[in-house]
Structure 1
Amino acid sequence: MRPRRLLRLLLLLPLVLLTGCDETPTGRSQLTLVPENLMTQMGEDTFDQLRRDQPVSRDAAANRQVACVAQEIIAATEAIYPADELPEVWEVVVFEDDSPNAFALPGGRIGVHTGLLQVAETPDQLAAVIGHEVGHVLADHGNERLTQQLGIKAGMLVVGLLGEGDMGQQQLMQALGLGAQLGITLPFSRAHEEEADLMGLAIMAQAGFNPQESVALWRNMAAAGSGQPPEFLSTHPAHGSRITALQQAMEEAMATYRATTPADCNG
């Protein structure tokens, strides 16, 4: 790369970083460079694609329970974070899928797999998952992750251009790719998961769901799973680490829960 071209890139980088600096609802600094309207459109497109590709559950009781829990979680989220921009309308769909999973997408789309309803044994445990997923949307984690991935690729491109003509360039790029994956992408993703866990705990308590059931949920997840990779190689915290963090925040969550009217999504 020509020195003058590299200098221009380096001068522009601080301006890009400053324009994208933001804070999550918990006060953690983050960098989000993707326009929100684009994130919303991507969320809507992804959800529409899922509905075309995956069968939707026709189980009336399951749909009723998921809709009830989601409604309570959304109302509590709006009460806790009134200053944050939330979707005006949320769409909730139960998909026929045996994996114990759920997700929330920018633009107010929530998907719950029927397999999760076998692991989340109570509405309170389901609320822990939906609260966690709504926390991801509220904290703009999708934007942050996408910004991060774009930054890694741009940085590797600059290094590749600087190393033009170097016989070891391919090996260097491979090493940088591994370093970016282990040193940036995965730990940062764990930070997102941990933040969403704590936000979800506060949200479910405000919604009138017993926060202690979040611990029971992750114990169920651990029992249902076939093992996890070592935590430093995983995008998600180990179940034990997750439970410990939730227990440390439990006293405050229980105080909130005791001051609310318990939610009723059993019917």
Structure 2
Amino acid sequence: MKKITTLLLVSTFLVQCSTVPITGRKRLDLVSDAQALPASFAQYKGFIEKNKISKNTKETKEIKEVGKRISEAVDRFMRANNMSKEADAYRWEFNLIEDKTVNAWCMPGGKVVFYTGILPICENEDGIAAVMGHEVAHAFARHGQERMSQAMAQQGLSLAVAYGTRNDENSKIWNLVYGVGSQVGMLAYSRTHESEADKLGLIFMIMAGYNGEEAAQVWVRMSKRTGKSSQPEFLSTHPSNESRIQTLKAYLPEATALAKKFNATPIVK
């Protein structure tokens, strides 16, 4: 009986897969936008209320304008590729938070935060676009929902929970994502997301009219700022700076060709 149950679960997980647009990677897809996005939007709202939004109007305007252009490029791609329903689910929002942390992130559904501490690494508008493209790509590829699905599979949760609609069940799924990030077993999976977001982000920033060469330069500057990692790459949730630089440089010609192919409406910078 136990073996039959296991086989049924494995079969269901195999069936409940979808494909990441553009990259073609198969992803586990047990969590719908209807389950994930309300929790995402609520958490983002709470974060914005509790943290200090930058009063630098110039920098804030730049973050919002770059975000708008890149999200519009993504929206254009989705609507041209039979993904209008998915595109309608996004609620794009871009905020700059006064914080020295060198970071930026995007939650499911398109809620993006930049910390002022990352702006010197970005250095210019194209650098901001490189980071923005990467973060927007996480939302586009539904990495958050995939992490929830993976967490559910690892925890052996029932399919009833997977498809539950009650708030407490949704919260349980959401919280699982943030309980497994430090486990070594999840790290390689996270690196897959990071590498995929690097490539997709490069395409999106070029589609939006930005200089794709700057994506690798952001990581050159990051490397100078942080130095080499003190731990091996296989124990990191992110690829090493050197690895990212090499990957972005090597992928630039293909990203440029894909951006040209997807960009039905050219944008003049």
**Same fold by TM-score greater than 0.5:** yes
Matches within 5 A, 1:213-252: 213-228=214-229, 229-252=231-254
Runs of 4+ in 1 over 6 A off after TM superposition: none
Assess if the C-alpha contact under 8 Å between 1:210 and 1:254 holds in 2.
no
3-state SS, counterpart of residue 63 of structure 1: helix
**In structure 2, what residue type is equivalent to 1:222?**
S
Aligned residues between the structures: 234
The answer for the alignment partner of 1:187 in structure 2 is 188
Residues in 1 aligned to 2:198 and 2:45: alpha-carbon distance in whole angstroms: 27
Could you say what the CA RMSD is over the residues aligned between the two structures, in angstroms? 2.2
Structure 1 140/88 Cα, relative in aligned 2: closer, same or farther at 3 Å? Answer: closer
Matches within 5 A, 1:141-156: 141-154=143-156
**In structure 2, what residue type is equivalent to 1:13?**
L
The answer for the alignment partner of 1:127 in structure 2 is 129
Assess if the C-alpha contact under 8 Å between 2:18 and 2:28 holds in 1.
yes
**In structure 2, what residue type is equivalent to 1:110?**
V
TM-score by length of 2: 0.80
Structure whose CA Rg is larger: 1
Query: Percent identity between the aligned chains?
Result: 33
Match of 1:17 among 4, 13, 18: 13
Assess if the C-alpha contact under 8 Å between 1:209 and 1:262 holds in 2.
no
**In structure 2, what residue type is equivalent to 1:152?**
Q
Assess if the C-alpha contact under 8 Å between 1:97 and 1:114 holds in 2.
yes
3-state SS, counterpart of residue 18 of structure 2: strand
Runs of 5+ unmatched residues, structure 2 = 158-179
Match of 1:38 among 31, 35, 45: 35
**In structure 1, what residue type is equivalent to 2:10?**
P
The answer for the alignment partner of 1:50 in structure 2 is 47
Structure 1 93/32 Cα, relative in aligned 2: closer, same or farther at 3 Å? Answer: same
Residues in 2 aligned to 1:251 and 1:92: alpha-carbon distance in whole angstroms: 29
Assess if the C-alpha contact under 8 Å between 1:190 and 1:237 holds in 2.
yes
**In structure 1, what residue type is equivalent to 2:94?**
V
Match of 1:70 among 62, 67, 72: 67
Residues in 1 aligned to 2:267 and 2:138: alpha-carbon distance in whole angstroms: 25
Q: How much does 1:122 deviate?
A: 0.7
Residues in 2 aligned to 1:80 and 1:104: alpha-carbon distance in whole angstroms: 19
**In structure 2, what residue type is equivalent to 1:40?**
L
Q: How much does 1:32 deviate?
A: 1.7
The answer for the alignment partner of 1:209 in structure 2 is 210
Tell me which moved more, 130-139 or 80-89.
Answer: 80-89
The answer for the alignment partner of 1:198 in structure 2 is 199
The answer for the alignment partner of 1:174 in structure 2 is none
Q: Deviations over 1:30-52 (max 9, x none)?
A: 10211211210121122012112
Residues in 2 aligned to 1:189 and 1:89: alpha-carbon distance in whole angstroms: 24
Q: Deviations over 1:194-251 (max 9, x none)?
A: 0000000000011110000001101111112254221010010001111111111112
Residues in 1 aligned to 2:112 and 2:251: alpha-carbon distance in whole angstroms: 25
Residues in 2 aligned to 1:233 and 1:108: alpha-carbon distance in whole angstroms: 28
TM-score by length of 1: 0.81
Q: Deviations over 1:92-133 (max 9, x none)?
A: 111111112111111221111111112110110110111111
